[in-house]
Amino acid sequence: MLKYVFFGMHLIPGDVAQLLLGDKGTEADLARLRHQLGLDQPVPVQYLRFLAGALVGDFGVSLRTRQSAIWEIGQALPATIELSLAALLLAVVFGLAIGVLAARRPHSVVDTAAMVGVLVGVSMPVFWTGILLLLVFGGILGWLPLGGILDGGMMFHRITGLSLVDGLLTGNGPVVQSTLRHLILPAVALGATAMATIARMTRSTMLEVLHLDYVRTARAKGVVERRVVSHHALRNALLPIVTLVGLQLGLLLSGAVLTETIFAIPGLGRLAITSVLARDYPVVQGVVMIAAGIFVLANLLVDILYAYLDPRIRYD
């Protein structure tokens, strides 16, 4: 994947040196800058140099800001992590709740309403959902901020880089409150499709599990219905849902590109867009590697969670 990104970026028409210097750059200035950036070397040589640096965590220097690419990514990563985790939390909590509620009352008004909502959620692209939420709750009603991660001029002591976590660690109530208000709209926009997908999967698996023999046995023994659903049915229905959640994290990372652009959040997605437009190869390639690493780590955690949910699974 990294190979395709690297060579794809080099196929984009235009000259990076010309883009950085503008119309005032002379041929000598352009040649000097290309040499400083290593752009006068053959593309395969540039690719091998990048791979050698990436193996030790060195993605090079940003062509746009002249800062270390890993530093640029480190500044943007916390905002994306915060947004993605908030969206995933909303998607899992509400997706499970809606799916279980619909499965307990199949073909009822509640089930029909839930499935209509799921259909709408799956059908609407993230950018359209974001724009609607922004116009209604941010523009017309004015209930929530239009964008960003904090109110203007507000600062916080940076420990982890996550404004919500750092606000809690330092006891900074205004920062926590401001972060939560700024997270609501983008988290809902980003997590809406994932929530609908999880709800649909939960309903389907719960309908299958609720008709199995061990569930009927639990009911025949007089076990309270709430315990039957939560301890017997839901736990055994979670395996395919956990797989789906792991896959949804990758979709959330890709959806963060549009969400961060719409809501002016300085995260990895917005950094990627800015870097692509500026043909900032090192930063774009670094963002791709970090995103791929997060996706791999998420799937590893899913495999570990399998063993906890189903003791029959053993890993050698």
Quick check: is 61 in a domain? no
Structural domain ending residue among the three candidates 56, 87, 102: 56
Tokens of 206: 């719960």
34 and 181 inside one domain: no
Instruction: Look at residue 15 in the predicted model and tell me its pLDDT.
Output: 65
Residues 52 and 183 grouped into a single domain = no
**pLDDT number for residue 94:** 92
**Number of structural domains the chain divides into:** 2
7 is a domain residue: yes
Residues 112, 168 within the same domain: yes
How many angstroms separate the CA atoms of 42 and 64, rounded? 21
Residue 240 confidence (pLDDT): 82
Other C-beta atoms closer than 10 Å to the C-beta of 146 total 15
How many Å apart are CA 150 and CA 130, to the nearest integer? 18
Assess if residue 204 is contained within a domain.
yes
Q: Based on the fold, state whether residues 14 and 74 are members of the same structural domain.
A: no
Q: Do residues 108 and 235 share a domain?
A: yes
Domain membership flag for residue 315 = no
For residue 136, give Cα distances in angstroms to 125, 143, 185, 253, 263: 17, 9, 10, 25, 14
Domain that holds residue 3: 1-56
Asked if residue 314 is part of any domain, the answer here is no
Domain end position, chosen among 24, 56, 88: 56
For residue 245, the tally of other CB atoms under 10 A from its CB is 23
Place of tokens 């609720």: 210
Q: What is the pLDDT of residue 25?
A: 65
Q: Assess whether 15 and 159 both reside in one domain.
A: no
Note whether residue 63 is domain-resident: no
CA–CA gap between residue 125 and residue 190 (Å, rounded): 9
Judgement on whether residues 136 and 99 belong to the same structural domain of the protein:
yes
Residues 25 and 48 occupy one common structural domain = yes
Instruction: Report the pLDDT value the prediction gives residue 108, as an integer from 0 to 100.
Output: 86
Instruction: State the Cα torsion 47-51-53-57 to the nearest 10°.
Output: 140
* pLDDT for res 107: 84
Model pTM? 0.82
The answer to the question of residue 316 being in a domain is no
Domain shared by 31 and 170, yes or no = no
CATH number at residue 122: 1.10.3720.10
Quote the CA–CA distance of 257 and 190 in Å, as a whole number. 10
Residue 163 and residue 23 in one domain: no
Mean pLDDT by 10 residues, the chain (316 residues): 67 67 70 73 77 76 81 88 90 90 85 87 86 88 84 79 84 86 90 89 86 80 78 78 80 81 87 84 84 82 76 60
Q: Which long-range contacts (CB under 8 A, 24 or more apart) does 15-20 make?
A: 16/63, 16/279, 16/281, 19/278, 19/279, 20/63, 20/64
DSSP characters over the chain: -HHHHHHHHHHSSS-HHHHHHGGG--HHHHHHHHHHHTTTS-HHHHHHHHHHHHTTT---B-TTT-SBHHHHHHHHHHHHHHHHHHHHHHHHHHHHHHHHHHHHSTTSHHHHHHHHHHHHHHHS-HHHHHHHHIIIIIIIS--S-SSSSS-TT-----SSS-HHHHHHHTT-HHHHHHHHHHHHHHHHHHHHHHHHHHHHHHHHHHHHHTTSHHHHHHHHTT--HHHIIIIIIHHHHHHHHHHHHHHHHHHHHHHHHHHHHHTT--SHHHHHHHHHHTT-HHHHHHHHHHHHHHHHHHHHHHHHHHHHH-TT----
**Domain co-membership, 163 together with 20:** no
pLDDT of residue 231: 75
- Residue 110's pLDDT is 86
Residue at 64 is within a domain: no
One domain for residues 74 and 52: no
- 219 Cβ contact partners less than 8 Å away, ≥ 6 residues apart: 225, 228
Domain's final residue, options 56, 79, 94: 56
